Amino acid sequence: MFDLLIKDANLPDGRSGVDIAVSNGRFEAIAPGIDGEALRVVEAAGRLVTPPFIDPHFHMDATLSLGNPRLNRSGTLLEGIALWGELKPQLTHEAVVERALRYCDLAVSQGLLSIRSHVDVCDDRLLAVDALLEVREKVKAYIDLQLVAFPQDGLFRSAGAEKNLMRALDKGVDVVGGIPHFERTMQEGAASVQRLCEIAAERGLPVDMHCDETDDPQSRHIETLTAETVRLGLQGRVAGSHLTSMHSMDNYYVSKLIPLMAEAQIHAIPNPLINITLQGRHDTYPKRRGMTRVPELLAAGINVSLGQDCCMDPWYSLGNADMLEVAHMAVHVAQMTSVNAMKQAFDAITVNSARAIGLDDYGIEKGRPANCVVLQARDPVEAIRLRATRLAVIRNGEVIAETGPRMATLSLPDRPGTIDAADYAPVEAAPGAP
Ligand code: FE2
Residues 161 and 265 grouped into a single domain: yes
250 and 153 fall within a common domain: yes
Q: Which among 301, 233, 290 has a CA at the least distance from the CA of 267?
A: 301
Q: Is residue 424 part of a domain?
A: no
Question: Could you write out the DSSP letters of every residue in 9-60?
Answer: EB-TTS--SEEEEEETTEEEEEETT--S-EEEEEE-TT-BEEPPEEEEEE-T
**Half-sphere exposure (Cβ direction) of 285: Cα atoms closer than 13 Å:** 0
Establish if 434 belongs to a structural domain.
Answer: no
Distance of CA 65 to the CA centre of its chain: 19
- Give residue 59 CA to ligand 1 midpoint distance, Å: 6
Distance from Cα 47 to the centre of ligand 1, integer Å: 33
Q: Would you tell me how many other CB atoms lie within 10 Å of the CB of residue 340?
A: 9
Q: Is 433 within the bounds of a domain?
A: no
Q: What's the CATH code of the domain at 191?
A: 3.20.20.140
Ligand 1 midpoint to CA 318 (Å): 15
Domain shared by 211 and 329, yes or no: yes
Q: Which residues contact 89 (CB under 8 A, 6 or more apart)?
A: none
Radius of gyration of the chain, Cα coordinates, nearest whole angstrom:
22
Ligand 1 centroid to residue 329 C-alpha, Å: 17
Residues 21 and 104 grouped into a single domain: no
How much is the pLDDT for 431? 57
- In the chain, which stretches have pLDDT less than 70? 425-434
Shared-domain flag, residues 222 and 238: yes
Domain boundary among 333, 356, 379: 356
| Cα-to-centroid distance, 152 and ligand 1 (Å) | 9
My answer on whether 106 and 135 are in the same domain is yes
Residue 230 lies inside a defined structural domain of this protein: yes
Whether residue 89 is contained in a domain is answered as yes
Residues 171 and 73 in one domain: yes
Last residue in a domain, options 324, 356, 388: 356
pTM of the full structure: 0.96
- Predicted confidence at residue 426, as pLDDT, reads 61
Domain count, the chain: 2
User: Looking at residue 25, which CATH number applies to its domain?
Assistant: 2.30.40.10
State the distance from the centre of ligand 1 to the C-alpha of 292, rounded, in angstroms. Answer: 14
C-alpha of residue 432 to centroid of ligand 1, in Å:
46
Percent of the chain with pLDDT over 90: 94
Residues 151 and 46 in one domain: no
* pLDDT given at position 428: 56
Residue 168 host element (H or E): helix 161-171
Domain holding 260, by residue range, is 53-356
Residue 219 within a domain: yes
Residue 159 has what pLDDT? 95
238 with 347, same domain: the answer is yes
Question: Is residue 139, in this structure, part of any structural domain at all?
Answer: yes
Residues 378 and 330 in one domain: no
Q: How far is the CA of 400 from the centre of ligand 1 (A)?
A: 28
pLDDT at res. 430: 55
Point out the residues that are catalytic: 213
Same domain flag for 125 and 246? yes
Domain co-membership, 87 together with 189:
yes
* Sign of the C-alpha dihedral computed for residues 170, 82, 76 and 162 taken in this order: negative
Round to whole Å and give the CA distance between 350 and 319. Answer: 18
User: Element (H or E) spanning 395, and its range?
Assistant: strand 390-395
User: Is residue 45 domain-resident?
Assistant: yes
